[in-house]
Structure 1
Amino acid sequence: MITSDLHTLSGAYALHALEDDERAAFEHHLADCEACAREVAEFTATAARLGLAVSLRPTPGGRDQVLRRIAEVRQATPARTPRDRRERRARRAWWASRWILAASLAATAALGGTTVWQYQRAEDARAEAGRSRHASAELSAVLAAPDARSRTVRLADGAEGTVVVSTSRDRAVFLAAGMAEPPGGKVYQLWFDEHGVMRDAGLMDPRRTSQAVVLRGTVDDASAMGITVEPAGGSKEPTSRPVALLPFPT
């Protein structure tokens, strides 16, 4: 499937209408496509609002009422006259309509719960898209700063890392190319090195081997940055030896 085809799947993805292989391909594409992420958020929010507009919540005690009513209704005595058969068919149709209505209400109530969940996912996606736009703006600002300075070093397994620092913006960016994925349940964590004292500078995306990351926080007195392997979610301080130390350019 070519990339242009993937852009057309955002609506079907939001409605859970993709086959497993299409969904996997689209989710891989979604990680790097802000436009599709925004469309998925909007489609999902719209579907959620439509569902909430028609959803009904079961009345309190509804189950007990149904069970009590079943116990009170006597089963009709079998009969064979045409008239009784017509009445029996009419009665079956009446009960069938009530069961269909009950099933519809139950399904609608379940749909209401599903759409609430979908709406929350949409809001999460919208917030993530907002954070992505903010990070992209920060990244561009640092790289385009007139005083931006860079330094590139070789990392393990042939990978390459570049750190870019802007004194005027007091920010730094790390560009990784070809880094190995961290072990399962682990993540690469970035640190500001302030005269041997490590300060948390954020996490890298463990699913991507090449990426650009704006270090969290200002540079201040840091003269270098470090990278360690930490448990998923990161650590308050390094728990392993740095896999790389990159002195800041002067």
Structure 2
Amino acid sequence: MSTVDLHTLTGAYALHALSDDERGEFERHAADCEACTQEALELSETAARLGLAVSAASPAALKSKVMRRITTVRQDSPRVVPLTRPPGSGSRSRRLSRWALAACVAGVAAFGGTTVWQYDRAQDANEQARQSEQRTDAIASVLAASDARTKSAELADGARGTVVVSKSRDEAVFIAAGMAAPPSGKVYQLWFNDAGTMRSAGLMDSHRTAEAVLLEGAVDEASGMGITVEPAGGSAEPTSDPIALMTFPA
């Protein structure tokens, strides 16, 4: 893909409409292109606000209605085709039936194991989706708050960060673009700056160069935030000098 083409992908990137390969290629390009980084960041913020303008909550009774219908709607019965047996095939059919029965039992056992595995995977996926939806809703609520205040700054290696603070919600969101991957076995950790004392505010995704993160915990009297490089899993307190410090908007 040419550089000209990559310049046109900021909108699709902001809406998460790129394939994994395209996203990776765009993020590598954006790391060296300040214009694309800034445009993608602004489009992401705008998309979040516009999404809230047309969003509508599902009726409270919708889930119970769907679950109730599941128990009352009958599945279609399988179509049965009668089989005709040629003369003299009785003993052979009985032998084949025993083999078929054994195969069916083995198949059912295997299918049962597969079903349990698929169910567990589905449950995990549903839980991940639920958590992701909750995080997205929380981030969108901060961005759309009537008292939301925004401040942006250049970070290390050409990255850019924007922090959005809502005093009414006592929450803050950090939006990063063009972040370099942390060293192997390390992770970026966010911190509230409480008059010089750093209070953990959560971890960033090590596999993403652009991300919106709801800072964990209340803003309280924090005057800003910082980012450090910590061992995987994070630390109780910073173990390295901040790679970035940002003051909160007034």
Q: TM-score, normalised by structure 2?
A: 0.59
Gaps of 5+ in 2: 1-18, 25-69, 71-87
Distance 1:141 1:112 in 2: 43
Supply the AA of the counterpart residue of 2:223: S
Q: Which residue of 2 aligns with 1:231?
A: 231
The 5-angstrom pairing of residues 128-143 of structure 1 reads 128-143=128-143
Q: Note the alpha carbon deviations across 1:56-81, whole angstroms, 9 max, x for none.
A: xxxxxxxxxxxxxxxxxxxxxxxxxx
Shift of 1:100: 4.0
Provide the residue aligned with 1:123 in structure 2. 123
The CA distance in 2 between the partners of 1:101 and 1:184, in whole Å, is 53
**SS state of the match for residue 107, structure 1?**
helix
Inter-CA distance 227–95: structure 2 relative to 1 (3 Å threshold): farther
Q: Secondary structure at the match of 2:200?
A: strand
Partner deviation per Cα, 1:79-110 (whole Å, 9 max, x = no partner)? xxxxxxx99x957x755543443333223212
- What is the identity, as a one-letter code, of the residue corresponding to 2:163? V
Q: Does 1:212 align with 2:176?
A: no
Equivalent residue runs for 1:37-52 within 5 Å: none
What is residue 6 of structure 2 aligned with on the other side?
A: none
Aligned to 2:166: 166
User: 5+ residue gaps in structure 1?
Assistant: 1-21, 29-45, 47-85
Rate the CA distance shift 1:178–1:96 in 2: closer, same or farther, 3 A: same
Cα deviation for residue 162 of structure 1 reads: 0.8
Cα 1:104–1:153 change in 2 (3 A) is same
Partner of 2:153: 153
The alpha-carbon distance between structure 1 residues 212 and 109, as it changes in their structure 2 partners (threshold 3 A), is: same
Q: Could you say if the C-alpha distance between residues 106 and 159 of structure 1 is closer, same or farther in structure 2, counting changes exceeding 3 Å?
A: same
Give the RMSD, CA atoms, in angstroms.
2.7
For 1:1-250, list aligned pairs within 5 A. Answer: 90=91, 97-250=97-250
Partner of 2:61: none
Cα distance, 1:129 vs structure 2: 1.6
Q: How far off its partner does 1:237 sit?
A: 2.3
Give deviations 1:9-63, integer Å, cap 9, x for gaps.
xxxxxxxxxxxxx9x87xx9xxxxxxxxxxxxxxxxx9xxxxxxxxxxxxxxxxx
Greater Rg over alpha carbons, structure: 1
Q: Which runs of 4+ in 1 moved over 3 A?
A: 93-100
CA distance in 1, matches of 2:217, 2:228: 18
Query: In structure 1, how many angstroms separate the alpha carbons of the residues matched to 2:150 and 2:244?
Result: 16
- For these two proteins, the number of residue pairs brought into alignment is 168
The CA distance in 1 between the partners of 2:161 and 2:125, in whole Å, is 30
**For residues 110 and 179 of structure 2, what CA distance do their matches in structure 1 show?**
45
Shift of 1:210: 0.8
Percent identity reads 60
Q: Which amino acid aligns with 1:143?
A: L
Please, what TM-score do these two structures have when normalized by structure 1?
Answer: 0.59
Provide the rounded CA distance (Å) in 2 between the counterparts of 1:103 and 1:109. Answer: 10
Aligned CA distance change for structure 1 residues 99 and 239 (closer, same or farther; 3 Å): farther
Letter in 1 for 2:193: D
